[in-house]
A and B are shown apart, each in its own frame.
Chain A
Amino acid sequence: MFDLFVAKILLAGVMTAVLAGALGSILVWRRMAYFGTAQAHAALLGVALALYLGVDVRLGIVLVSLLVGLLMWQLQQRSDLSTDTQLGILAHGTLALGLVLLYGSGLRINLDAYLFGDILAISDRDVVIIAVGGGLTLLLLWRFWSALLAVTIDYELAKVEGFPVVGTELLYLLLLSSMVALSIQLIGALLIVSLLIIPVATARRLATSPEQMVIGGALLGSLAVVIGVFVSLRSDIPTGPVIVVVSTLLFILSRLLPARGD
């Protein structure tokens, strides 16, 4: 059964996987997995605040997770606590605050949808937002790709060479927040980082350039998403966990193959 509804789901899902390939590669190269987790967990607080204020949930997510990203970015500059301690506090602090607000609100909402994703509830408007937001993100990534690579490889060398280092960092935080907002429906706040990391980590062994890793990650992520969507359509299992399980299996398989890249 391949109807328009399934096509729309797949379009949104594949777009998300492609974004995850690019943003996830940078996340891995920068060792920011936990940073991404904190931004994703903060999404729940964004959901709660958006519901209270009656604005679009995605807007709430982008703003709160960007705010948390900026806060962590600032804290990293100078602090007596290590980065992982700070991230642990912010990630779970914001997640818990979001849960308290959502349960305390008395609103009848499907919390599981935000935690694990509920792609089957997707509307035409959601698909348009994901397609346009995703397209815009890809455009910005393409435009600033060299700067993103240079800053990722060595911040100080990039700064000396005149790359706009602060602007590039802020752009990445913004794009990561947008990614969280765009993908929460597909995979849920708790599992977003898996989609960002696992497919690109699988692609790493086969890649010899940064772009190959991005494209490989996008393809593997898309494969996992397509499988996840179909399993989810035929069963009661939410899409997010299936996508992550498939990605993880692909990762394990790749480790059994001999390495081609460097």
Chain B
Amino acid sequence: MAKSTATMSNMPPINRVGAELISATDLSYARGGRIILQQVDISLCRGEIVTLIGPNGAGKSTLVRILLGLCQADSGQLTRQRALRTGYVPQMLKMDPGMPITVQRFVDLSPYQRDMAVIDALALAGVADLVRYSMHHLSGGELRRVLLARALVGNPDLLILDEPAAGVDITGQQEIYSMIKAFHQQYQTGVLLVSHDLHLVMAATDRVVCLNQHVCCQGSPDAVRDNAAYLELFNAGELAVYTHHHDHRHGIDGRVVHKG
């Protein structure tokens, strides 16, 4: 682990953690003379739920794109389990309205061998009733769930969700998190969630990784998960407040400023 990483808690993870699915060490990435990622270490095991948080511009998207194989780090190592089945839920879809396509067909395009029917995946994502509808007349929240169904239908080893809660109301967020949790418990999938919200983090998260160009700190959110007052405040069982203790500050240029 990099020097700048501080483990927040020694509490054991709640979920049974298995073999390492993906692991990145010492990733660095810069564009246009601007450092976006600096010596980032991150790994994820089967059965583990990791939430990646950080402010806008912290490099979360870049890190996720590197882990997904959509872009290349300038340096560092990326190891992926052989034949890793990755389910990816992007924030949105860049699909032209010129293509007539139903929800059923869209989910069916998943190339993975499967033992789950499309309709069951849609039911898992809570949108079975949309199966015959056009992809072009879905609300933002519905589209997110259909994308989740496409990811789930292939029974992925690793599920990566980019801001699954963005643009979804608090009840919807709670539902999406429940679905992810239920699927994860049934299949022992590794889950990586990305969130820009420092306060709302899925309660079932084993580990929260805070990123701001480098890994600032990571640890379990359990310190606050059981705090009834916080849960009550958000009135949402699947949501917990992650209290964040920085061991350093960032200057306005993003550089680390150590205390003292």
Contacts and interface: CB of A to CB of B under 8 A. Distances in A.
Contacts of B101: 153, 209-210
Interface string B106-149: 10011110000000000000000000011011000000000000
B111 to A, nearest CB: 5
B93 interface: yes
A31 B134 CA distance: 20
Contact of A149 (B69, B109, B112, B150): B109
A11 interface: no
Nearest to A30: B96
19 contacts: A149-B109, A153-B101, A154-B95, A156-B68, A157-B93, A159-B68, A159-B70, A160-B69, A160-B70, A161-B88, A161-B111, A162-B111, A208-B134, A209-B105, A210-B99, A210-B105, A212-B100, A213-B100, A262-B134
Interface in B208-229: none
Interface string B137-177: 10000000000001000100000100000000000000000
Given A154-B93, A157-B93, A160-B69, A261 B110 contact: no
B28 interface: no
Contact of B68 (A149, A160, A210): A160
B100 A207 contact: yes
A86 interface: no
Contacts of A162: 111-112
Main SS at interface, chain B: loop
B136 A29 contact: no
Q: How large is the interface on B (under 10, 10 to 19, 20 to 34, 35 or more residues)?
A: 20 to 34
A172 to B, nearest CB: 15
Contacts of B34: none
A204 interface: yes
B99 A157 contact: no
Contact of A29 (B99, B109, B134, B154): B99
A204 B134 CA distance: 13
- Most-contacted residue by chain B among A25, A149, A161, A208 (CB, 10 A): A161
Contacts of B82: none
A102 to B, nearest CB: 35
Interface of A: 25, 28-31, 146, 149-150, 152-154, 156-157, 159-163, 201, 204, 207-210, 212-213, 261-262
Nearest to A29: B99
Nearest to A262: B134
Interface in B186-218: none
Contact of B106 (A28, A30, A153, A262): A153
Given A29-B96, A154-B94, 12 more contacts: A146-B109, A150-B111, A153-B101, A157-B93, A159-B68, A159-B70, A160-B88, A161-B88, A161-B112, A209-B102, A212-B100, A262-B137
B177 to A, nearest CB: 22
A221 to B, nearest CB: 16
A159 B88 CA distance: 10
B113 to A, nearest CB: 11
B46 to A, nearest CB: 18
A256 B96 CA distance: 23
Contacts of B105: 209-210
B86 interface: yes
A42 to B, nearest CB: 24
B18 interface: no
B260 interface: no
Contact of A262 (B88, B100, B109): B100
Contacts of B150: 157
B12 interface: no
